[in-house]
Structure 1
Amino acid sequence: MRGLKENESLALSVGINATRTLTVAAVISAAMAGAAGSLYAHYLRIIDPEVFAFTTTVSMVIMVVAGGKGTLMGPVVGGLIFGLLPVALRPVMAPEAQWIVYGLVLIGILFVMPRGIVPGLAALLARRRPAAPVLEASPMVQR
């Protein structure tokens, strides 16, 4: 999948079947979405189009983008931040005004860490680690 994303023609040249790989990815994601939807419908005990309003969809996209798309922990971290943010803001401001804070927090996160929180922190930690010492080659002793 990464090879197809980065350079499809190179992936095809090494024998990766793009059509098959993308079809398998679509089937797996559809199966996961279907399972999640059926579990959620069972939890709510109702199937209603209003369950997933536009604001819910936008909130989910914000969580993924802010946390770091393409990582496993990114959406989890974004979900925690943007899931707890409404709870923290509820006593202070109206729900409509919370979207302004959402936008400001998202802009702040993406300005400081363009790829998201998790990749940004990983890059920061990689820069802070001391570099491995370089061993110099000792000159050969000739007798």
Structure 2
Amino acid sequence: MDTLMDFIMKTYQSSKRYRADKLDCGLAPFQQLYIYRICRRPGESQDWLARTLCINKSNVARQLLSLEQSGFVTRSPDPNDRRILRVYPTEKAKEIFPQVEQLIHEWETLVLEPFTAEERTVFIDLMKRVSVRSAELAGEESGAKKKG
């Protein structure tokens, strides 16, 4: 029997394959999610990105280094607390952001297409609740709760 995790992973993996096939910009599909978050919230901290993507801080640091070396982002210390690294999109990231954003929204629209508007609303609400509860059980903050 499939578990909730199976369904979530299958959906995520399918999303990655879909985006990989549609956008050839030198980014891996999971890096597209970094660009999406960074372009929507420029100047957020590296730790904020780790929390919102639910990814280990050291993995985020490695991916940001790769994105920085590829010319997609810059990182700079916060002027008030130099331990905090702020992440900013470069022009290169800003140029591909509309395509990344469109693909993410396109995927969501296509996946939810068979549902009625009411079912979509209920489904999204339930997924938010599952996400928040999962974070609570793991002793984490949900990315939507804290800005850092």
Q: TM-score, normalised by structure 2?
A: 0.28
Structure whose alpha-carbon radius of gyration is higher: 1
Q: TM-score, normalised by structure 1?
A: 0.29
Structure showing the higher strand proportion among its residues: 2
